[in-house]
Amino acid sequence: MNYNPIPNPIAARLAVGQRICGSQFRDGIIYRITGQQRPETVTIMGGGAMVTGGNALLSIVFENGSKAQELNEAVVRGLPWQIYDAVATQEEIDEALLFAEAEDIRAKEELKLQEENREARRQTALAENPHLEQVPKNGYASAVIAARNIRKELKQAFPRIKFSVRSRGGDAVYVNWSLGPTQKEVESVIGKYERGYFDGSDDCYKYDKDNIYPELFGGAKYVVATRKLDVGVAAVGAGLCEIWKLGKPLPTENFWRMQKEGDIHSVGEIAFEILAHQSFPPGAVITGVEHCKERRDVYASPWANWYSATYDAQGPR
């Protein structure tokens, strides 16, 4: 139902049942007024964004079942609030309060179920990971503990691949390795130790409240995985140059400066993309590149769908 805002909300005398529109554009009803209204003391500043004064306290029930208890009358007279020229009946007020009570019971039951589910997931995670170091009771879920557990998990998931795992600054863990598994494969193992993510839209860090791993086994705001591929770029680049008949780079050039005719990407960039989408066994030595007989359509990179690096698995056994 549509209501019209009153023309002078600062001076208006408010009544129980007065319909208003609150913050976040929620329609509501004033169901209780405590104290004497003194609208003449209300001062509006900043175009309505700031208010002072007032005396009466207003309790409001909103259409979504939420409540605002004992707001100073000055608040609802400023922005972004609106006071409507309509007053709800006592029956409508009672109905709104009953709905709010039912919503409060439902929300508490939902919260209880969420807490029970969270505790069940905690117990499952603890039972499934007896080999991981646990955060001490009432202790801090530090990045140091997370780093130690990440080392254990990577060793189990990718045996004989050498990883460097370091915690720095108390809120970051850095994981580095050469060739071996892909970035995506490693992140699927270590990502659960990250407490949340940085949201560039509002320049804030958002914590993932559903992630139980950091509180159990340590965590950090940032878990950064970096895979070194430069050891294979020269071999793959040389192979691409041979396939495309580009010749070898001059002494003053390198594969990052060479381009296939009609392509905006350098040979080095293409070689890097091919390597990035491919995993390698422990000790693999990149020998070149081969053209796939059929397009695979499994990678985001078109080059990785047409070409794959060749290698010799000659490393330590």
Per-residue pLDDT, averaged over 267-279, amounts to 93
Residue 263 lies in a domain: yes
Residue appearing with tokens 């909300």: 9
- The answer, yes or no, to whether residue 293 has pLDDT greater than 80, is no
Residue 136 lies in a domain: no
Q: Exposure string (b/e) for 124-133, b if CB count within 10 Å is 16 or more?
A: ebeeebeebe
Which residue, among 168, 114, 177, has the nearest Cα to 146 in the 3D structure? 168
Residue 171 lies in a domain: yes
Instruction: Verify that 30 and 90 share a domain, yes or no.
Output: yes
pTM: 0.76
Instruction: Verify that 208 and 176 share a domain, yes or no.
Output: yes
Residue 138 lies in a domain: no
Question: What are the tens digits of pLDDT across the range 111-152?
Answer: 999 999 999 999 999 999 999 999 998 777 689 999 999 999
Of 78-82, 88-92, 288-292, 303-307, the range with the highest mean pLDDT is 88-92
Instruction: Verify that 224 and 153 share a domain, yes or no.
Output: yes
pLDDT at 44: 85
Helix (H) or strand (E) holding 175: strand 172-178
Instruction: Verify that 238 and 223 share a domain, yes or no.
Output: no
- The answer, yes or no, to whether residue 279 has pLDDT greater than 80, is yes
Give the domain range for residue 289. 230-313
Residue that finishes a domain, picked among 94, 128, 162 = 128
Helix (H) or strand (E) holding 117: helix 90-128
Residue 137 lies in a domain: no
Question: What are the tens digits of pLDDT across the range 159-192?
Answer: 999 999 999 877 899 999 999 999 999 999 999 9
Considering only the C-alpha atoms of the chain, give the largest distance between any 2 of them, rounded to a whole number of Å: 90
Question: What are the tens digits of pLDDT across the range 205-248?
Answer: 999 999 999 999 999 999 999 999 999 999 999 999 999 988 87
Strands (DSSP E) found in 130-218: 163-168, 172-178, 196-199, 204-207
Residue appearing with tokens 């091919």: 274
The tally of domains found in the chain comes to: 3
Instruction: Verify that 4 and 122 share a domain, yes or no.
Output: yes
Dist. CA 317–CA 312, nearest whole Å: 13
**Checking DSSP bridges between strand 82-87 and strand 18-21, what pairing results, if any?**
antiparallel
Instruction: Verify that 152 and 207 share a domain, yes or no.
Output: yes
**Checking DSSP bridges between strand 82-87 and strand 222-228, what pairing results, if any?**
unpaired
Instruction: Verify that 216 and 186 share a domain, yes or no.
Output: yes
The backbone torsions φ and ψ at residue 9, rounded to the nearest 5 degrees and listed phi first, read -65, -25
Give the number of residues written for the chain.
317
